[in-house]
Amino acid sequence: MKLFKAIYPPLTTPFRNEEISYEDLKSNLTKYNKFELSGYVVGGSNGETVFLTKDEKLKLIGSVREHASSNKQIIAGTGLESIKSTIELTNFAAKVGADFALVVTPHFFKNEMTDNALTNYYTTVADKIKIPLIIYNVTKFTGVNISVDTIAKLAEHPNIVGIKNSNTHVDELKQIINTVSNDFCVMAGTGSVLYPAFRAGAKGGVLALANVAPAECLEIYNLFNIGKLKEAEQLQSILIPVNKAITATYGVAGLKAAMDLVGFVGGNPRMPLEPLNENQKNDLKKTLTKASLIKLRN
C-alpha cells in the first residue's frame, strides 16, 4: 500500500472529565470527512499519545476507522521505546484498522541513539510488522535527529514507505528528498513550511494546522499543483501566525482551543497539561480572526 499525497491532520484526542469522548471524536470526523483530506493520524504528538494507555490507543484507532470515510487512510502512532513493544502495538493497531504505522524515534536514551541503533530499530520493526512503516522525526520533542544518510538507508527497506519530518529546516527536507527514491513519501510535519516543502518536492503534510484549517491546507496543496505559486505562497503567509499560535506558542492546549473557536471540538488537554486562560484564548481568537478562519467557519 502506498501513502496518498496531500494532507493528513494528526487528530487531537477529545477528553471530558479526563476520559476520552468518543462522541466528540465522531463529531469531528463527521466534519473532517467532508474535506478531501487523504486520511488521519491517530495517536500522534497532538493526540497526546504519551498520556494514553495501550487500550485507549487501540480503541481510538478502531473508532477512527469506524467513523472515517472508507477512502481515508489511517496512520497510527505506534512508536515506543523498545523494538519489542513497538512491534506488538503496531500489529495490534493493524488488527483494529490502521493502514500505516507512524513510528517515532526512541529517545529516552537519546545519547545512545546512534545511526546504527536507529537503523537496527527501524529495520527490525519494519521486518516484523504487518503494515507499512513511516518514520517520525520530531527533534523538538525527542532530542533525536535522524541523519539524512540513515534516512536514505532506511528508505531502501521495502516496508518503510515514508517519513514525517517535523523539523522546520527546509534545507534538511531538500536533502532528504534529493537522497531518496521518488517512491519514498517525504511529508512536511509542520504547517509553517508547507508551501516551501512542496517547492522542495515533498508529497504532502501531516499538520496540526489541518485540524483547524483543513480547507486552507488543502488549498495550498491544490494551488501549488496547478501552478498558482504566488497564491499558494500568499495563503501560506496568512496561516503562519495561526500555525505558530497552535504549536510553538500555546501547544496542544492552543490547538484544542483553536478547534473550539472554529467549530470543531477541542476541549481541554489531559492533565498535567493545562488549558488556556482567558487572556490566551482572546489572543488566539484575534489571530484566528485576522486569518479569517473564525469568520469563514461561523
Active site residues: 164
CA nearest to 86, candidates 107, 68, 65 = 107
Amino acid (one-letter) located at 82? S
Contact 9, 31 (CB under 8 A): no
209 grid coordinates = 494546522
Task: Give 95's Cβ-side CA count (13 Å radius).
Answer: 9
Calpha distance 144→235 (Å, rounded): 32
Distance of CA 114 to the CA centre of its chain: 25
Contact 154, 119 (CB under 8 A): yes
Calpha distance 243→207 (Å, rounded): 9
Distance of CA 225 to the CA centre of its chain: 21
Residue linked to cell 496547478: 226
